[in-house]
Structures are given as structure tokens and as C-alpha cells.
Amino acid sequence: MGFFDFFKKKNYESLDEASKPFEKKSSSYSNKNIRTRHGEGIEDFTSYANAYGVFGSNEVNSFNMFHKKYIDSAYEDELQKIYEYRNISRYPEIAEVIEDAVYESTQLDLDGNLIRLNIVDEELARNDNIVKNITDEFEKLFYKRLDINTKIEDLMMGYFIDGRVYWENVIDTKKPKNGIINIKKLPTDSMDFVYNPITGKPEFFVQNVTGKGGKIPQTIEAAEKNDKFITFYPKQITYIDYGIYGPGGKKDVLGYLEKVKQPYNQVKLLETSVVIYRIVRAPERLIFTIDVGNMPRDKAMKFVEKVKEKMQKKVSYDPSTGKTNNEPNVMSMLENFFLRQSSDGRGSNIESIGGNPSGFSELDDLYYFQRKMYRALKYPMSRIDSIQEKQNKDVIFSGSGGEITRDETKWGRFLKKHQDKFASAFLDIFLLHLDFIGLSTQYDINKSKLNITLTVPNNYITQIHQIEMSQRWDNYNSANSDEFSKYWRMKKYLKLID
């Protein structure tokens, strides 16, 4: 049974996912507060002037039909964009890069934890009782209720592929004071939202349960009356997008795979053409030189055609029907040919022309577009064994502890940037949970007093520190002489203080 088939009218008429407890947690409906906090300017003028939903259209003309169709095809709507991203993500090389990005972004630290809570407010951190209560709630929420170590890989995989991810913050509507009890990932291709162009914040979310296109309601009251949509309040849904947008504004999300679309299509076309070339040009061919003596031109051509037809056709007898068939004769390189030759050496002969064996050996143009594809994915080129080049790499640190290339550092920083988006979303969830259970008001906790971090991707910062410490230790040992005191060397090279 399909996802949308489950939600028949008789089933989802009674659903009210926009739980009322979340309504009180959302303050985006107060125009007075919006004007006070965000001024008069419109943050996203494109969407304000020309709004469209996930299920709308967004046509783009191209100057070249071939380029438009095969290299950089335009998206009809956001659904087609998401499906194109998913199609690209199935390409083996790209799938491997996405897996590396997800796995390196979701590493556990030495204690087996993925995320860590930091209390940055000094006054709050000095109260051991408050710190213990907040820490216990953090551990209880993320590691016992949400099982975040298991779920985050799926969330990040959807984020890198679709360019956005939605999940619902689930509470027990009968006991909202118990806080958040679960998070539920929602299909990206079924979700949409309406947001205030002044604040740039969503006013409400909707889920299309019919699986069909259509314009979404522009007010939450209209959405709740429309049985095609399930309505959610802003705090009820956590939404993270890639952060790069097209001409359509904040709903025109350009995901991680947007830049790789062109080189991916170019590589795919080149790989197909290489295979076709290999099949067409690789087989050996036979050249028949027919001795026509002193025949006139016309008779010579007719004689050649006669020999050609004789060699290309084979008469066979079908015993079941009693008929003869004039079938094509596929010549084998193991066949024997018997040709007459005169005493003076004149006569017909057959020579072979070898096929072109370079179909899979000269692939520099294919490697060029592969490199473009990996660069579009921001993947470290030093990891690509198939396209290694003998060239000098930019190295940040080198020494007895090894080296870290610049592209590895850029890759680590790229992953860290997207980790921070999830960390900010997790902090919002935790603050919402504290609000439900009453600790937020009791301890006067807000977003400025807490911080959540994820394990640093690939531990590249730790590696840099280790290499730097190794260099300091080498310098300390190299200066081991009577000219320098031990105290001076420890302070100078090991950065030790009194």
C-alpha cells in the first residue's frame, strides 16, 4: 500500500496534526510583534511578489535545446527537482561521496556520544543543581526518547540528497507537560509551508496527503478546512534547508547536488559514448580485394557486387518446411576462405583491419569531467585514486605526524557548517522540550545560555592540533643543548606556563 493510499478521506478527516499545545508556542501570528522585531523591510521580496508552492511550476528557457535537455535541464517544479536530485544520488560515485559526508558528520566521540550540551551562561553554569537537571533532561530526551545516534544518519542523508529535511516534533497531546517524546521524519516531496516575507519564518506547514499537485492555502485557517492537507504549527515541524536559493526565493531551494547536475550529465553522456564507441569500433573487419582482370568498369562493379552478395548471404535448407532460406552470413575470424590465384600472382585476397583497442585506455576527457563532478561535490581530490595526478598539493601542516591537505580541511569545514545547522535545530527542540516541562521558565533559560555541538567531522581539528603539538615537541628536542635552559624551552616550544 502506498503512503498516500493509506490516507483515505475517511481516515484523515479526523486527523488534527496541528496539536493545540504547539499553537501557544508559536508567536509568528502577531503582526505587532513582527513589526517590532523585524522592522518594515521585506526579507524575501521575490517570494512576496511572486509566491509559488512546492506543487507549482517554475519554467526556465534555455539557449540551446541539447544543453537544456541533456546537460542542464530546467525543473518544472520543486517536486521534479527533488526527484532529479534522488536520481543523481543513485550514481555510484556520487552515492559514495554522500555516504562519506553523512558518516563523517555523524561520528561518535570517545564517550559514544554524537551531540553534546554546553552551558555557556556563567551564572547558570555555577549552579550545580540546575546544571544536573538540565543535563539529565538532555540525556533523557536525545539518547533515551529520540535515540538520536540512530536517527541522525537518516535525517542527514535526506538533507544532503533532497537539499532539505522535515521532521515532526511529537508530544503526547493528553500530557503535554511530559515534553517531546519522539521525532518523525516526514517525506520531503509531500511537505510545503507558507512563511511571512517580512520575517522569513514559516507561519505554518502543510502535508499534501493526496499525492497530487495543487496550490496550497495561504492561511492556516483555510488549510485546516482543506481535507487535502494536514496542518502543522511552526514549532511542531523542524525544517532545515541547504541555505542556497534560486530565483523563486526561499522555496526555490538549491540543494547539495545542484552544482553537480551539469558535470554528472556530462560524465554520464561520455561514459555512454565510450561504451558505444567500444562496441562499434573494437571488432576487426575484413577487406576483400577482388581481382576483376581487364573487365570494363560496369562489369567489374557488377562482378564485385556478385561476389559481395555471395559472401554475405548463405543459402540454407529448412527441413521442417522444405524451403530454402537466404540468410545473412555472419563471417567468423575462424572461417576459411579459398580463393583462386593465377600463375603470375594475380587474384583476389582478404586482409583484416584491427579494431581500435583504445576505447577504454584514452579517457582523459572523461577524467576531466569526473574531476569537475568531485569538485562540485567539494570532495577531497586526494581521496580519488582513479584520477590521482602527480602534482604538488597544498599542505597546511606537515612533519613527523603526517600531513593534512588543504582540500581535506575544506571538506571538514564544509561538513562542520552543515552540522551546525542540525545542532541549532536540536537546540530549538531541547528548548521547546524545556518549555513544555516548565524548566525553561523556572530557570529562565533561552537560546543564548545553551549551546549544542556535534562531534567534529573527520576529527580534522584534532589532527591539526596533534600535528602542531608534534612539531612543538620536535622543536623542543632539537633545542636540547647547554645553550638553552629546560625552563625556557618548555615555555617557548611547549607553551607551558608557570
Task: Please check whether residue 84 is in contact with residue 78, taking contact to mean a CB–CB distance below 8 angstroms.
Answer: no
Instruction: For residues 350 and 306, give the distance between their C-alpha atoms in angstroms, rounded to a whole number.
Output: 16
Sign of CA dihedral 50, 51, 56, 57: positive
Radius of gyration of the chain (CA): 34
Give the pLDDT confidence score for residue 327 in this predicted structure. 67
Give the pLDDT confidence score for residue 158 in this predicted structure. 95
Query: Using the 8-state DSSP alphabet, how is residue 198 labeled?
Result: T
Shortest CA distance to 455 belongs to which of 155, 109, 156, 154? 109
Q: How many C-beta neighbours within 10 Å does residue 222 have?
A: 13
- For cell 569538485, name the residue: 375
Instruction: For residues 237 and 186, give the distance between their C-alpha atoms in angstroms, rounded to a whole number.
Output: 9
Shortest CA distance to 401 belongs to which of 477, 480, 494, 474? 474
Give the pLDDT confidence score for residue 356 in this predicted structure. 61
Task: Please check whether residue 91 is in contact with residue 269, taking contact to mean a CB–CB distance below 8 angstroms.
Answer: no
Task: Please check whether residue 206 is in contact with residue 222, taking contact to mean a CB–CB distance below 8 angstroms.
Answer: no
Which alpha helices (DSSP H) does 19-67 contain, by range? 20-25, 31-38, 45-49, 65-66
Mode of pairing for the β-strands spanning 237-241 and 313-318:
unpaired
Give the pLDDT confidence score for residue 56 in this predicted structure. 40
- Output the tens digit of pLDDT for each of the chain's 498 residues: 433 343 333 343 334 555 666 666 655 444 555 445 545 455 554 444 444 344 443 344 444 565 556 566 677 788 889 999 999 999 999 999 999 999 999 988 878 888 999 999 889 989 999 999 999 999 999 999 999 999 999 999 999 999 999 999 999 888 989 999 999 999 998 899 988 878 778 889 999 887 666 678 888 888 888 888 889 999 999 999 999 998 888 888 999 999 999 999 988 888 888 777 777 666 666 777 777 778 888 888 888 888 777 776 666 767 777 777 766 655 554 455 555 555 566 666 767 666 565 555 667 788 888 889 999 999 988 777 544 443 344 444 444 334 556 788 888 889 999 999 999 999 999 999 999 999 989 999 999 999 999 988 765 666 666 777 777 777 777 777 767 777 777 777 677 666
Give the pLDDT confidence score for residue 129 in this predicted structure. 93
User: What are the grid coordinates assigned to 296, written together?
Assistant: 570494363
Instruction: For residues 313 and 168, give the distance between their C-alpha atoms in angstroms, rounded to a whole number.
Output: 71
Secondary structure class of 318 (helix, strand, coil)? strand
Instruction: For residues 249 and 196, give the distance between their C-alpha atoms in angstroms, rounded to a whole number.
Output: 12
Secondary structure class of 49 (helix, strand, coil)? helix
Instruction: For residues 149 and 108, give the distance between their C-alpha atoms in angstroms, rounded to a whole number.
Output: 8
Query: Domain extents for the chain?
Result: 3-260+406-455, 284-354
Q: How many C-beta neighbours within 10 Å does residue 486 have?
A: 10
Sign of CA dihedral 41, 47, 49, 53: negative
What is the enclosing helix (H) or strand (E) of 396?
strand 395-399
Give the pTM: 0.71
Mode of pairing for the β-strands spanning 164-171 and 115-119:
unpaired
Give the pLDDT confidence score for residue 48 in this predicted structure. 44
User: What are the grid coordinates assigned to 172, written together?
Assistant: 503526547
Give the pLDDT confidence score for residue 101 in this predicted structure. 93
Give the pLDDT confidence score for residue 395 in this predicted structure. 43
Q: Provide the strand spans (E) within 179-249.
A: 180-186, 191-195, 202-208, 229-232, 237-241
Instruction: For residues 310 and 293, give the distance between their C-alpha atoms in angstroms, rounded to a whole number.
Output: 19
Give the pLDDT confidence score for residue 408 in this predicted structure. 81
Give the pLDDT confidence score for residue 20 in this predicted structure. 64
Give the pLDDT confidence score for residue 6 in this predicted structure. 33
